[in-house]
Amino acid sequence: MPKKTTRRRFLAAGAATAGSLALAVPAVHGAEKAKKYRTALIGSGWWGMNILNCALEEGRSQAVALCDVDRNMLDKAAAGVNEKTGTEPKKYGDYREMLEREKPEIVIVGTPDHWHALNTIDAVKAGAHVYVEKPISHTIGEGTAMVKAAREADRVVQVGTHRRVSPHNMSGMEFLKGGKAGQIGMVRSFVLYGGGPGEPTPDSDPPPGLDWDLWCGPAPLRPFNRRVHPRGFRQFLDYANGQLGDWGIHWMDQILWWTEEKWPKSVHSVGARHIRRDNTDAPDTQVVNFEFDSFTAVWEHRHFAGNNAEKHNVGCYFYGTGGTFHMGWRDGWTFYPVNPNAPIQHEEPQLHKPDDQNIPELWADFLRCIETGERPVCDIEIGHRSTVMSLLGMLSMKLGRSVHWDGDREICVDAAGTPDAEANALLTREYRAPWKYPEV
Ligand SMILES: NC(=O)c1ccc[n+]([C@@H]2O[C@H](COP(=O)([O-])OP(=O)(O)OC[C@H]3O[C@@H](n4cnc5c(N)ncnc54)[C@H](O)[C@@H]3O)[C@@H](O)[C@H]2O)c1
């Protein structure tokens, strides 16, 4: 794990590439160090606990409460906090009750995607600053409502796209933005992991201690299946958006970080379940084309044929007149020049164990912005635009045709700019009563 001074140096170095950011990191240290934020976690599973642990290790958060609809997850998480800090947080099953009673200053949202919007909107309305996981929403309209709620409540909302503060991603962006790969005409983003057909898993009774109705919440209530919870919801389209929504958003975010353009003008996707025979319903194969004014971007994933045949199996290739730049994860970044005599350039990543992430850097930026009132490096509006790219891919795949995006109005349009009613019907979805789709 890099030392704090190293992190600070990288954050400061990243200010130039992070647009409007002025990463005055020292402001969060010194006299304010004694301050402990009343911090609560909604969704105490794998990633939620990763964030909370980073917050506790940073030193200025007190875990006052945890909320989870699964008592088994909750008890394990609370015991973990107790072991770390010597105090056990209060435990809740309903996040609304927790917000009301605890009045936390900071809320971490680590629930499955279909809950992010309501959790975040209710938390900022209750006065909390929020660190919400990616993708910020399950449908595009939820994201629009989240941005509005954050602005109206004047709260800091940081999105968990921690690659924006990963040292190698930051230096890679400097490389690209500095023109060292020449003019970029195409970007190919991809996650090529194995998997294969799999086996169907039968539905069953929910385990004791799990409030399955509340887990499903605003999404359709389906019979419990242990492939869905914990962690498996990613491949069930009622609760998430498959590989493009889960992994794709990280790489959509890299594309939007690199380009000066705010959104693609048109999107076309095809996807299928060619191989999978299990009971998930997300595509095992998907390709998306995004047309921007100055370049073309592609997303590609498949859940079979996992091997090293293609050298890099996750990330983005930026294809420029000077060469091919691969922005990766555990493999850092690598630049392959067009000139065969020029040396290949490479930078190793600096990631934190156990899950090879850069959450501490993102948490530091979050606290800094709470204290200065500035917009964080992964502000909700930035996370929304990156999520929109993924969700437009899903929308086009479901419609079976291209969609044109008017990012100013956040609607789909036809070539003449007239609203596309069929596509726009998929920007939102029916919520299951008594939950209400967030209004804009
Ligand atoms: N930024 C990253 O790199 C990264 C990595 C992994 C996961 N994530 C994101 O984190 C989120 C959680 O993923 P995970 O793998 O930790 O899932 P998980 O299943 O391990 O944890 C989610 C928890 O939320 C609980 N939950 C569901 N509905 C709830 C509700 N209404 N109130 C309280 N708790 C509720 C579940 O019971 C579960 O314990 C996802 O959105 C995922 O995309 C981000």
- Please calculate the CA angle 286-288-291 and round it to the nearest 5 degrees: 175
pLDDT at res. 71? 98
Among protein residues, the one whose CA lies closest to atom 15 of ligand 1: 231
Average pLDDT, the chain: 93
Amino acid at 375: R
Compute the distance from residue 51 Cα to the ligand 1 centre, in Å.
Answer: 11
Ligand 1 neighbours by CB, cut-off 6 Å: 42-48, 67-70, 73, 95, 110-113, 115, 133-134, 160, 162, 214-215, 217, 229-231, 246, 357
- For residues 56 and 81, the answer to whether their CB atoms sit within 8 Å is yes
Compute the distance from residue 296 Cα to the ligand 1 centre, in Å.
Answer: 32
| Distance separating alpha carbons of residues 331 and 329, to the nearest angstrom | 5
Q: Which atom of ligand 1 is nearest to the CA of 162?
A: 1
Q: Which atom of ligand 1 is nearest to the CA of 118?
A: 31
pLDDT at res. 34? 64
Q: What digits encode the pLDDT tens for the residues 82-113?
A: 999 999 999 999 999 999 999 999 999 999 99
Q: How many CA atoms lie within 13 A of 17 on its CB side?
A: 26
- The single-letter DSSP state of residue 378 is T
| pTM of this structure | 0.93
Among protein residues, the one whose CA lies closest to atom 1 of ligand 1: 160
Q: What digits encode the pLDDT tens for the residues 297-325?
A: 999 999 999 888 999 999 999 999 999 99
Among protein residues, the one whose CA lies closest to atom 31 of ligand 1: 215
The pLDDT of residue 115 is above 80: yes
Q: Which atom of ligand 1 is nearest to the CA of 161?
A: 1
Task: Please measure the distance between the N-terminal and C-terminal CA atoms of the chain and give it in whole angstroms.
Answer: 42
Q: Which atom of ligand 1 is nearest to the CA of 74?
A: 39
Sorted by sequence, the CB contacts under 8 Å of residue 188 that are 6+ apart come out as 297, 298, 300, 316, 317, 319
Higher pLDDT, 74 or 14: 74
Mutate to test the pocket of ligand 1, among 46, 130, 229 (most ligand atoms within 8 A of CB): 46
Q: Which atom of ligand 1 is nearest to the CA of 229?
A: 19
Tell me where in the chain the CATH 3.40.50.720 domain(s) lie: 4-164+356-379
Q: What digits encode the pLDDT tens for the residues 22-68?
A: 333 333 434 445 689 999 999 999 999 999 999 999 999 999 999 99
Residues counted in the chain: 440
24-38, 264-278, 410-424 — which is least confidently predicted? 24-38
Q: What is the mean pLDDT of the segment spanning 105-125?
A: 99
The pLDDT of residue 5 is above 60: no
The pLDDT of residue 251 is above 70: yes
Tokens read off for 436: 């209400």
Higher pLDDT, 440 or 423: 423
Compute the distance from residue 49 Cα to the ligand 1 centre, in Å.
Answer: 9
Q: What is the distance of C-alpha 204 from the center of its chain?
A: 30
Q: How many CA atoms lie within 13 A of 163 on its CB side?
A: 28
Q: What digits encode the pLDDT tens for the residues 199-223?
A: 999 999 999 999 999 999 999 999 9
The pLDDT of residue 18 is above 80: no
4-164+356-379 topology per CATH: Rossmann fold (3.40.50)
Mutate to test the pocket of ligand 1, among 111, 142, 247 (most ligand atoms within 8 A of CB): 111
Q: Which atom of ligand 1 is nearest to the CA of 111?
A: 24
- The answer to whether the peptide bond before residue 340 is cis (omega within 30 degrees of 0) is no
| Distance separating alpha carbons of residues 309 and 176, to the nearest angstrom | 26
Band of pLDDT at residue 326, cut at 50, 70 and 90: very high
Q: Which atom of ligand 1 is nearest to the CA of 73?
A: 39
Q: What is the mean pLDDT of the segment spanning 356-375?
A: 98
Compute the distance from residue 45 Cα to the ligand 1 centre, in Å.
Answer: 6
Q: Which atom of ligand 1 is nearest to the CA of 95?
A: 32
Task: Domain 172-355+385-427: give its CATH superfamily.
Answer: Dihydrodipicolinate Reductase; domain 2 (3.30.360.10)
Q: How far lies 274's CA from each of 236, 238, 304, in Å?
A: 16, 20, 10
- For residues 431 and 437, the answer to whether their CB atoms sit within 8 Å is yes
The pLDDT of residue 369 is above 80: yes
- For residues 325 and 128, the answer to whether their CB atoms sit within 8 Å is no
Compute the distance from residue 364 Cα to the ligand 1 centre, in Å.
Answer: 21
Tell me where in the chain the CATH 3.30.360.10 domain(s) lie: 172-355+385-427
Tokens read off for 13: 């170095």
Mutate to test the pocket of ligand 1, among 41, 49, 53, 69 (most ligand atoms within 8 A of CB): 69
